[in-house]
Structure 1
Amino acid sequence: MLKAQETVLEIDLKALKHNFEYLKSKLQPETKFLAVVKAFAYGSDAQKIAKYLQDLDVDYFAVAYANEGITLRKAGITKPILVLHTLAINFDVIIENCLEPNLYNAKILNEFIAFASSEKQNEYPVHIKFNTGLNRLGFWENDLEYVVSKVTATSVVKVKSLFSHLAASEDLNERDFTLNQINSFKAIAENFEAEIGYMPFLHMSNTSGILNYPEAHFDMVRSGIGLYGFGNSEKESAHLKPVASLKTVISQIHKIKKGESVGYNRAYKSDRLITKTATLPLGHADGISRIYGNGKGFVTINGQKASIIGNVCMDMIMVNITDIDCKEGDEVIVFDGNTITAETLADSANTISYELITSISQRVKRTFINY
């Protein structure tokens, strides 16, 4: 494995395969698997990740917005793609690219039916989301009769799936709440089938639902963060392998005298006779936000932690290397798939791995290993 000579996000496809196979091992053979590849596949590379997963025979993909689905189609993805947050302005490109919209309220349902009718569509596949407790998107249970009346009154669309989203499946202290969500969704599905005359396939489980609630696997599960190596608990994360490693190099080393400052607003002032600092070529424009500055975050150089000092700059961070034997040009690990994971770094600033990995800028070079 080559040492980094610039800031690079290294993506391990063997780790991705391991995670996919581990999560699949939790399912019944007939249960479909949907890979969530929104937000550039959680900050990695949506096109290459999706193509690799398609070769592994994943059943479905999901994106947040239509433009993400268009990118996948242009990359050669032929599997079904669910658009989780459908917006009316994108109806034309959704149909043009054979994407499958989530219809989550009366406005979007009626407008899509009208648009699909104007495009002379027949049984266009749509997905209906019901809100069972996350209170983000979705019809309420008492909207069921209304939804049924709309979709049975036309042949323009056909409901391919019903789905919902678990709000706290990673938190076993919220088990009662989660079980209530699952039971509510079951009741919605049963009533929907009775009214409409057929049963769309059902899905509700996210990564933690896959791991903690087998009774909620239904016909398909959806995994995002688990595919990228995080299980939302120490126990489950131990079975997974982080896919991405963020590496950089030391650009310059400075010796700072006592009382001298480092960075904008003089946020760090040396209290030692000599403080040695290293400047690294990444900053908040690359996804290492200002919350990691002033000693909260750290990097690893030659196996030792170097805390981030001063304010994070747009393109650079400075770290304290006073007690580290290193030189300009040495590799720096920001996070990796071993001991210093994205979760570890995120914890240092009281945030979560999701936020850190999805923030990695597209200007950071991506490289791939273990095809």
Structure 2
Amino acid sequence: MPKAQETVLEIDLSALTHNYNYLKSKLQPKTKFLAVVKAFAYGSDSVEIAKHLEKLNVDYFAVAYVKEGVALRDAGIKTPILVLHPQSINFNTLINRCLEPSIYSNHVLDEFIKITEELDVQDYPIHLKFNTGLNRLGFKDKEIENVVSKIKHSPSVKIKSLFSHLAASEDFNELHFTQFQIKTFQHIAKQFENLSGEKPWLHLCNTSGILNYPEAHFNMVRSGIGLYGFGNSVEEDKNLKPIASLKSIVSQIHTIEKDETVGYNRAYTSQGTERTATIPIGHADGINRIYGNGNGFVVINNKKAPIIGNVCMDMIMVNVTDIECKEGDEVIIFNSEYKASNLSENAKTISYEIITAVSQRVKRIFLS
């Protein structure tokens, strides 16, 4: 691969193919695959990722908000798109762009039925979300009868799927809770079927659910972080390939003497004669301030250089006293070897946070 000459995010589409195929290999042939491409496809590029996955015949996409779905439709994506957290103010746009809403409360259901009836829409596909323990969004099981009654009285909507979300499928210390969620969801699905006479698709598993709970794959699974190369465990990380590499360069090198300070608020003080390198990437690019003051590092010429002082908006400074390097040298923030998960763990956060934080001003380069 060519060396970086500026701050760039390289996205390896062959790694995406690998991850998709690996996760698909865990499924029964008829189990559908929903790819989660919210948050700019976890900080990469939702349009390019969706286009590539569409070529791989993915069954569904999911986004968080209507605006994200509109961007995919504008780019020519034809695959069905589930909107996980729609707001009623956007329902007209959602219907106009053939997006499918998650309906998670009576208020949202009433608002959506009202809009579809005003537009004289028939059998518009909706997905009912049930709360099985995450306590974030979703109907409770005691609301099933009321929900079924409302839907039966409105020909404007049709149930495409029932779904829920696992709270801790990556954590085997929470095995019993996850099994409780699975059983609760099965009970909800059975109640719904008995009351409605219908058998919609069922989906519950996220990436760790796919890997750890094959008995809960049902009709469809949803994968986000796994597609982007993280399996939420050391063992599964070995089977996946991070698709994104965040790189930059050394802008300038300084030699500072003992007791000189570096950066805003003089947050770092030199312990002796030291060399520092300034890198053109900062918290406006997604390198949060939590990575400053030794909590984060970059890699220069295969050696870790700790971030010193406070992270600036557009720059970070690192200690290169023991690293042979020069201005213009490539800098690795994370890639397939020095993973985002390693960097995030060092700062007591998670890989999801650092990869989704990469700013849209960072140039994207796509590798096939």
Q: Same fold (TM over 0.5)?
A: yes
Q: Deviations over 1:174-226 (max 9, x none)?
A: 11100010001001101101111111100000000000000110000000000
The one-letter amino acid of 2:343's match is L
**Aligned positions of 1:209-288 closer than 5 A:** 209-272=209-272, 274-288=273-287
The one-letter amino acid of 2:341's match is E
**Pair 1:138 & 2:138 matched:** yes
Query: 2-side partners of 1:296 and 1:201: how far apart?
Result: 45
1:104 alignment counterpart: 104
2:9 alignment counterpart: 9
Q: How far 1:289 sits from its partner (Å)?
A: 0.4
Query: 1-side partners of 2:86 and 2:296: how far apart?
Result: 36
Matched residue count: 368
SS at match of 1:137: coil
Query: 2-side partners of 1:226 and 1:146: how far apart?
Result: 36
The one-letter amino acid of 1:347's match is E
2:325 alignment counterpart: 326
**Pair 1:317 & 2:316 matched:** yes
SS at match of 2:205: coil
Q: How far 1:331 sits from its partner (Å)?
A: 0.2
1:177 alignment counterpart: 177
User: Can you give the 5+ residue segments of structure 1 that lack an aligned partner in the other structure?
Assistant: none
Query: 1-side partners of 2:354 and 2:268: how far apart?
Result: 24
1:301 alignment counterpart: 300
Q: Deviations over 1:21-79 (max 9, x none)?
A: 00000000000000000000000000000000000000000000000000000111101
TM-score, length basis structure 2: 1.00
Q: How far 1:86 sits from its partner (Å)?
A: 1.2
TM-score, length basis structure 1: 0.99
Q: Deviations over 1:245-298 (max 9, x none)?
A: 0000000000011111000000001011x1100000000000000000001100
2:120 alignment counterpart: 120
1:155 alignment counterpart: 155
SS at match of 1:11: strand
**Aligned positions of 1:47-58 closer than 5 A:** 47-58=47-58
SS at match of 1:286: coil
2:349 alignment counterpart: 351
The one-letter amino acid of 2:205's match is S
Query: 1-side partners of 2:107 and 2:213: how far apart?
Result: 33
SS at match of 2:222: strand
Query: 2-side partners of 1:345 and 1:6: how far apart?
Result: 21
The one-letter amino acid of 2:134's match is L
2:291 alignment counterpart: 292
Runs of at least 4 residues off by over 4 Å: none
SS at match of 1:284: coil
Q: How far 1:11 sits from its partner (Å)?
A: 0.3
Q: Percent same amino acid among aligned pairs?
A: 65
Query: 2-side partners of 1:63 and 1:369: how far apart?
Result: 24
Query: 2-side partners of 1:259 and 1:170: how far apart?
Result: 46
**Pair 1:199 & 2:205 matched:** no
Query: 2-side partners of 1:333 and 1:263: how far apart?
Result: 21
SS at match of 1:242: coil
Query: 1-side partners of 2:187 and 2:270: how far apart?
Result: 63
Query: 2-side partners of 1:55 and 1:42: how far apart?
Result: 19
Query: 2-side partners of 1:30 and 1:62: how far apart?
Result: 19
1:166 alignment counterpart: 166
